[in-house]
Amino acid sequence: MRAASPHDEYLLGITTIGTYLPAAAVTIYTEDPYPSIPRTRADRPIEVQVNIHNILPYPGYPESSKVAILHRHVQSYGTTGTGHPLDRNSATLISQSEFTANGNFVVPIPLNAIPGTNRTKVRGEERFTVLSKPGDQTPGYILDSQLVQVWPVADATISGISQGHLIGASVPQLTLQLNDLYPSSTTWAQVYKGTSQNGITGTTIPGSSVVLNGSVPANRTITIADYGSVFDADGLWTMELLTKTPFGTDRLAQVSFTVQRSGISLEGWRQALFGSAANSGEGADENDYEKDGIANILEFAFGLDPKQNSLGKLPVAARVGDQFTIRFTPPAGLTGILYGAEWSSSLQPDSWVPLVNTGEAPEHVFSVPVSGRSQLFLRLKVTTP
Ligand SMILES: [Ca+2]
């Protein structure tokens, strides 16, 4: 996306000078020092300064020389728009006021009034125009006009790790969904020991940083695997997404979880996720806590999250040549689990026959010949010795 050059994209100022017309200069201030055009974020204030001079309040002078009028227009760019192209004739006039004296006037705008239901997500512009008063024979002339762009507040999600998750030696793939990052911003994911806290500098997750230095907001989707090296100790950790903008550093998302890189027992897993080590209640081996069809014991054995739908994340059997095969490598660091598989041609309860693991550790491979069988079923079996 190319950077917008204000000189060819925007009409920044129109000035009209006349004998019996006031003169005006509009200046817009925001917290963003971006030099090309005033801009800010949907949750931040705007300050408009209007300098009026050459008002001539003398008897006998035309009315046009005695009054200047300030118009405030707002216009949305739409839910994903960037203002190019934009028909500024369709902006909405939301207020007007009159100046009848010379001087410097400050017009504070605590929050923008760009149309939009979700106030943090509006994007558009406000325009402040000073006009002369129209007379019987003459129109109102634009004495000065300036605009400020308003961009939405960013939001983001971390998926792959959920609150309370227990992570072993192999970390789950992360997906960071970053929406409406401010045009000049740096966004990154970091981790630190303990529960979530404000203002902590943690360890940045390699590959998570997004630096924007443009003219419009942007979305990014980042997937990260193999970041386990950021965890230098076992225990409770917090991961958060931060974004630094001209308005400060904001936390967009956070999740706290437990890291245990070796020797995760089923009891420790139950304790971390269900608050009890016992094989009963919500944490019972046969219980399917979030009703995704996968019993807790299988969630543990395959490193899944028992509190988030894990449909489709178990190993799947496939036909390879003459064999019907299921193959997988269990997550590293789990203790007290035996992996097996059984096959049946009828699904009858007493028809399941155990298979031998023919894989080379740590991979597990279970196969059954297809030939001569019209139908064939494989199932995984996880047991605690
Ligand atoms: Ca489940």
Assess if residue 343 is contained within a domain: yes
Claim to verify: residue 108 and residue 12 sit in the same structural domain:
yes
pLDDT tens-place string over residues 85-113:
999 999 999 999 999 999 999 999 999 99
Q: How far is the CA of 42 from the centre of ligand 1 (A)?
A: 41
Assess if residue 241 is contained within a domain: yes
Q: How far is the CA of 222 from the centre of ligand 1 (A)?
A: 27
Check residue 179 and give its pLDDT. Answer: 98
**63 — pLDDT class (breaks 50, 70, 90):** confident
Q: In degrees, to the nearest 5, what angle opens at C-alpha 195 toward C-alphas 192 and 199?
A: 60
User: Mean of the pLDDT values across residues 341-367?
Assistant: 92
Q: How far is the CA of 274 from the centre of ligand 1 (A)?
A: 13
**14 — pLDDT class (breaks 50, 70, 90):** low
User: Mean of the pLDDT values across residues 11-34?
Assistant: 81
Give the residue from 125, 151, 177 where a domain finishes. Answer: 151
pLDDT tens-place string over residues 228-261:
999 999 899 999 999 999 999 999 999 999 998 8
**7 — pLDDT class (breaks 50, 70, 90):** very low
What is the residue range of 379's domain? Answer: 318-383
Only one residue has tokens 């911003």, namely 185
Q: How far is the CA of 270 from the centre of ligand 1 (A)?
A: 13
Q: How far is the CA of 280 from the centre of ligand 1 (A)?
A: 15
Q: How far is the CA of 287 from the centre of ligand 1 (A)?
A: 7
Q: How far is the CA of 38 from the centre of ligand 1 (A)?
A: 52
Claim to verify: residue 48 and residue 137 sit in the same structural domain:
yes
Assess if residue 270 is contained within a domain: no
Q: How far is the CA of 269 from the centre of ligand 1 (A)?
A: 14
Any idea what the CATH number is for the domain that residue 357 is in? 2.60.40
Alpha carbon dihedral 341, 342, 345, 351, in 10-degree steps, equals: -160
For the chain, give the mean pLDDT: 91
Two tokens, residue 15: 């000035």
Assess if residue 275 is contained within a domain: no
**363 — pLDDT class (breaks 50, 70, 90):** very high
Q: How far is the CA of 319 from the centre of ligand 1 (A)?
A: 27
Claim to verify: residue 32 and residue 123 sit in the same structural domain:
yes
Check residue 5 and give its pLDDT. Answer: 42
Q: How far is the CA of 238 from the centre of ligand 1 (A)?
A: 24
Check residue 17 and give its pLDDT. Answer: 63
Give the residue from 123, 151, 179 where a domain finishes. Answer: 151
Comparing 170 with 291, the larger pLDDT belongs to 291
Q: How far is the CA of 296 from the centre of ligand 1 (A)?
A: 5
The reply to whether the predicted model has a pTM over 0.95 is: no
Contact yes or no for 255/171 (Cβ under 8 A): no
Check residue 109 and give its pLDDT. Answer: 96
pLDDT tens-place string over residues 293-348:
999 999 999 988 898 888 888 999 998 889 999 999 988 778 889 999 999 999 99
Cβ-proximal residues to 38 (8 Å cutoff; 6+ apart), any chain: 28, 29, 30, 32, 46, 146, 147, 148, 149
Q: How far is the CA of 285 from the centre of ligand 1 (A)?
A: 10
Q: How far is the CA of 374 from the centre of ligand 1 (A)?
A: 31
The tally of domains found in the chain comes to: 3
Assess if residue 215 is contained within a domain: yes
Which DSSP string corresponds to 39-97?
EEETTS-EEEEEEEE-----TTS-GGGT-EEEEEEEEE--SS--SSS--GGGPEEEEEE
Q: How far is the CA of 290 from the centre of ligand 1 (A)?
A: 5
- Secondary structure of residue 272 in the 3-state scheme: helix
